[in-house]
Structure 1
């Protein structure tokens, strides 16, 4: 076998190994995205859920100089990790009209230590 053939075989072997590694990394990342541990909030009237939603509205009002009033949580998901308890919720709130808003809040474990990650809406108005 010539040196050229040997180099070609090694190159092909390297490409095969690189592809196998790439597929394994992709599958691992996809699994982490799909299994992100978010669970439906069963008790949307739980005081912890309500407090996180109220914080989202108050913080949004402070940041954006608005006067939205919290009404209730209609649905949401939660997960817990080393940063705290994460809440993704659809809430009903009142400004000039009643509307739905999507909020994402992290409860960092201390009653006064919340972080508003996002606040969007109104999604619909009544």
Structure 2
């Protein structure tokens, strides 16, 4: 009877560890939603994205807000943000990807394009 309890315990432990591994494996390298797009750090990244794009393109865009976003853990963090920016008096949505390495105090705009719905 004790042997059955030991087998049951090992089986239960295996299922628990497997589910723990599966949930963490899905997060590493995958995109996770940002729950608070009004977080000052997220807003700062959105402002950086619009400002950096404007420097490169001389488009005259002015940051308005972050609408939604996701993060991805890489060698640092990728932020994929939907931002609204003013383009000559008209608000438009854009998708920006910023790669941040906080330990180097470094941000790099890797993509910026009109958002598709």
TM surpasses 0.5: yes
Specify the alignment match of 1:100 in structure 2: 93
Structure in which a larger fraction of residues adopt strand: 2
Runs (4+) of structure 1 exceeding 4 A deviation are: none
Q: Could you say if the C-alpha distance between residues 95 and 123 of structure 1 is closer, same or farther in structure 2, counting changes exceeding 3 Å? A: farther
Deviation track 1:18-77 (CA, whole Å, cap 9, x = no partner) reads: xxxxxxxxxxxxxx99x7421000000111111111111111011011210101000111
Work out whether residues 62 and 86 of structure 2, in 8 Å CA contact, stay in contact via their aligned partners in 1. Answer: yes
Contact 1:99 1:123 (C-alpha < 8 Å) held by counterparts:
no
Which protein is bigger by CA-based radius of gyration? 1
- TM-score (norm: length of structure 2): 0.69
SS at structure 2 position matched to 1:67: coil
TM-align CA RMSD:
2.4
Matched ranges for 1:71-82 at <5 A: 71-82=64-75
Give 5+ residue unaligned stretches, structure 2. 1-24
Does structure 1 conserve the Cα–Cα contact (< 8 Å) formed by 2:62 and 2:87?
Answer: yes
- Contact 1:71/1:91, CA 8 A, preserved across alignment: yes
Shift of the alpha carbon at 1:111? 7.5
